[in-house]
Homo-oligomer: A and B are copies of this chain.
Amino acid sequence: MNTYVRDGAEIYRRSFGMIRAEADLAAVPPDVATVAVRMIHACGMVDLVDDLAFSADVVAAGRSALRSGAPVLTDATMIASGITRARLPCANDIVCTLPDARVPKLAAHLGTTRSAAALDLWRDRLPGSVVAIGNAPTALFRLFELLDEGVGPPAAIVGVPVGFVGAVESKEELVRRSPAPYLVVHGRRGGSAMAVAAVNAIATEDG
């Protein structure tokens, strides 16, 4: 009982070593692999890599955007809360419009979820941003609609909405469309912890 590991750095070192030993990262470029290791660390599942799909330049594109001061746009307050400010290179804004007071009326007007309607408040900031959708499939679907309307694309998209209705389809659609460099976890898995891990890893080069 008193023998558990208490040294945070040692816990990270051992965890990442176990993930590297168990996860099949052979086909993943080094910078994406570093992000994948962080995502696996956040969910405890090394087979996450089987569902990973990505543009080869997604990490470079996202990191470059953040270094230019791009904001992070996200669909869930938990994600905004989880991103480590100290990792961001330019004190970048982290934007989650879901709690905005205009969203319920927008959702009623658009006939959609609040998570999707919240993206209508992204329009001005979307071009060149880093998007992290880790909760609502409808938010990812709404992103495609905004892009279809002519809003400029983000620099990179972390697409890991989770769940049973629309999650699979929204991520397949993202890969099919590829409106910007993307990182997705196919299937039902996803969530705010994975989205946070991905953004935190994209933000900094250290393991």
A-side residues, CB < 8 A to B, are: 1, 4-8, 11, 14-15, 18-19, 41-45, 77-78, 80-82, 110-114, 116, 137-138, 141, 144, 162-167, 169-170, 173, 187-193, 196
CB-based nearest B residue for A80: B81
Which residues of B lie under 8 Å from residue A112 when comparing CB positions? 6
Per the bound structure, the CA–CA distance linking A165 and B13 in Å amounts to 10
Do A78 and B193 touch (CB < 8 A)?
A: yes
Per the bound structure, the CA–CA distance linking A11 and B164 in Å amounts to 8
Knowing A190-B44, A191-B42, the reply to whether A164 touches B4 (Cβ < 8 A) is no
Do A164 and B78 touch (CB < 8 A)?
A: no
Do B45 and A164 touch (CB < 8 A)?
A: no
- Can you report 8 A-B residue pairs in the complex whose CB atoms are below 8 A from each other? A1-B144, A4-B169, A18-B164, A19-B164, A44-B189, A44-B190, A78-B81, A78-B193
Per the bound structure, the CA–CA distance linking A5 and B142 in Å amounts to 11
Do A192 and B45 touch (CB < 8 A)?
A: no
Which of A8, A78, A112 counts the most B-chain CB atoms under 10 A from its CB? Answer: A78
Which residues of B lie under 8 Å from residue A45 when comparing CB positions? 188-189
- Say whether chain A's binding surface is mostly helix, strand, loop, or mixed: helix
Per the bound structure, the CA–CA distance linking A187 and B44 in Å amounts to 8
Per the bound structure, the CA–CA distance linking A119 and B36 in Å amounts to 30
Which residues of B lie under 8 Å from residue A187 when comparing CB positions? 44
Which residues of B lie under 8 Å from residue A138 when comparing CB positions? 4-6, 8, 11
Do A82 and B165 touch (CB < 8 A)?
A: no
Name A78's contact: one of B41, B44, B196 (CB within 8 Å): B196
Do B77 and A137 touch (CB < 8 A)?
A: no
Do B163 and A41 touch (CB < 8 A)?
A: yes
Do A191 and B191 touch (CB < 8 A)?
A: yes
Name A42's contact: one of B77, B80, B162 (CB within 8 Å): B162
Which residues of B lie under 8 Å from residue A193 when comparing CB positions? 78, 162, 191-193
CB-based nearest B residue for A6: B112
Do A14 and B192 touch (CB < 8 A)?
A: no
